[in-house]
Chains A and B, each alone.
Chain A
Amino acid sequence: MDFTQIVPSLPNLWEGMLLTLKLLLLAVGGGVALGTILALLRLSSSPLLSGLAKAYVNYFRSIPLLLVITWFYLAVPMLLNWITGEFVAIGAFTSCLVAFMMFEAAYYCEIVRAGIQSISSGQLNAAYALGMSYGQAMRLIILPQAFRKMMPLLLQQSIILFQDTSLVYAVGLMDFLNMARSKGDIIGLPHEFLIFAGAVYFVISFGASTLVKRLQKRLAV
């Protein structure tokens, strides 16, 4: 095993890592936003809206992420083509991002829903009593408290997402893992590059979840 050969490739690997992180941050942002909307729909008093949100969540939770990535990679350009009527070239990155956002939203939705439900109904009543509208009560009173409570869970889910971004390998996007794989193959040291990639994922995930656990303890006090 010769790990010194990895050094010259570090700039490329860093490039791959940047793509991974960019994908992660955008997917977390979009996923949490969409997930929150879904959670509010699920908790709405309209059976139609809550039923639709529930169907969305159940649907995405019962299929593999890899299937969504693969499908969206093929389907998103075609759908855009139908909608806009002209051929739009969208890259693998965009279709992957859409896939992650929509898939993760189902998981974030469940976390946010549990978070909202953990806030006592007295809080909502108190907000109404002060004359707030539903939107105000959610935005100013319920969601800030709920997000505080569920922050550890949201972060844990995001750490899982960080690891799952490696699945973009399936559509050939040059993320950190794929970059390491292809560099390793070119240089002829696939094992070293694979171990290195695994170690980097491990250090980041392990470090992040240790921090989350600490945060969890602090919030629990």
Chain B
Amino acid sequence: MSMISIKNVSKWYGEFQVLTDCTTDVSKGEVVVVCGPSGSGKSTLIKTVNALEPFQKGEIFVDGVSVGDAKTDLPKLRARIGMVFQNFELFPHLSITENLTIAQQRVLGRSQDEAMQKGMHYLDRVGLKAQANKFPGQLSGGQQQRVAIARALAMDPIAMLFDEPTSALDPEMVNEVLDVMVELAHEGMTMMCVTHEMGFARKVANRVIFMDRGHIVEDCAKEEFFGNPEARSERAKQFLSKILQH
């Protein structure tokens, strides 16, 4: 059963085409890693899934709901999809607790007790229960990103989108965030991750998508992507050789 279904999506910024005829599916419980050089459109593609980026052609369905349909209640749809951003985007004026509960209360209409319980549960899961009363600016980048993941999970999402969740982090903090993501993948969360962390892809991805200049160039099982390098496109080979050197 397909949870996220992207069909022939194209997008332009004025004259400039950022996405060209992109098609892919993410099944329930599947972990898909999207990679590619910068400017390849991978972040734009993932943001079309929860309509943070509008697109001009094609269709996207999330759990059967059309994202591009003008009649779709976008806030409601977005509330069901968790998203983690490159720059964390916690709300800096709210405490960690408030960050975790505000959308649960205001969007899902949960009671404060329920929101609090849920929020604390996930904060505990990402190992930061002790920081509940602090403000985002008082946490390290890695801690902020773990809170951001907890914030998304507290909404009980049907799928999670990760937009380069570790690329703004200092190297020593990357693993604490990846560990949370790996655990999440093992639990069967449906995940679409834009990331350069090929170790993460090898460990938990079911499929790898490689994008270049707005096209989906490769879309294959992880074993095929990493196990059979000769069959990869020229661009993907170049990209992989650069990434894997690091």
* A and B touch in their complex, CB below 8 angstroms: no
* Chain A interface residues (CB < 8 Å from chain B): none
* Chain B interface residues (CB < 8 Å from chain A): none
